[in-house]
Structure 1
Amino acid sequence: MKPNSSLSTRSLRCILAGLGLLLAALVISDLSSAQAQSAATSRPSSTSIRTPDFDETLSWYQDKLGFRLIGSENFVQGRRAVLERSGFLLEVTEVDHLLQQDQDPDATGGVAVTRLPVISLIVPDVDKEVSRLRKAGVDILQAPEDELDGRFRTAQIRDNGRHRIELREPIDENGFNAMGR
């Protein structure tokens, strides 16, 4: 009778393992379709930047833009930290060198700036934010202006390294800017 109970136990384990795999596949399928629907209707809420000036970059994002440190890790290759501001996550990775970039005509101080913004932050008042950042010594790459479609007022700044950051102030669908501009 022992061989039959062993066979039954083995069969039961296989059935349970199969059911577990089927359940996992269903959960993954549901998550994937939910993520696809969410991605179609939402904007990105995170990004990652690389920098050789890790400590300086963390301080810059905390002091100038109000990000808070969520956590950090040390690896053999360098360090990594995650910062957060109003639900937006920023991963900062330490590197010993940066990838070559084509020279940007907007480069300042001999440091090439990314051509397109790597970060886009929603702010309540772009003009006030730019004024505050200018007083704090931040490089302003584009003064505040309304986008052609009239949905956002935008400006662009440069972080302590070479990353272009876009500041966006929403304007409602009727062209009304709640800030009175």
Structure 2
Amino acid sequence: MAVDFGFSRAGAPSLITAVLVGICIGFLPHNVHPARIFMGDSGSMLLGLLLASAAITLTGQVDPNAISAESAGPTLLPLLLPFAVLAIPLADLLLAVARRVKAGKSPFAPDNEHLHHRLLASGNSQLRTAFILYMSTAAIAFPVTILAFKPWWIALVTALALIGATVIISKKGKVAK
């Protein structure tokens, strides 16, 4: 099927990503708070390595000569999608480093001001906090993917729907402090 859509070299990265998505979906119900099974450092590092390898392999297959006004979206998607998926964690990292440096602390010093700490402190449960972060990531990554193949307004509607769902979920049923 990938060959039919012009992705003849995307076989291995696509397969690795599809298998990892299946593994993570099967593992996720057991890892919801309170978790019955923990992935651990080795499992999470292997997962990160495989995802990074798939992204790098797919990104390395972009042919600069194939980029044109008509095909820019699908061609640039392997370059943009990893940044879209990592937008929330990267923003959290940059804000944490800036906050610590501004306070005269080491950028590597721990604190309780990360995004997930703030969401928990605002009265969200562990599960709701994780879901808000998942939905926020989806609100960035899905429109980027859609924009590569469909008109911009479909991506905008998708982003607004996901943002709206995230806001509604974050406002409902907060835990009392």
TM-score bracket, normalised by the shorter chain, equals under 0.3
TM-score by length of 2: 0.19
Which fold has the larger relative contact order, with Cα–Cα distance below 8 Å and residues 6 or more apart in sequence?
2
TM-score by length of 1: 0.19
Rg comparison, structure with higher value = 1
- Greater share of strand: 1
- Greater share of helix: 2
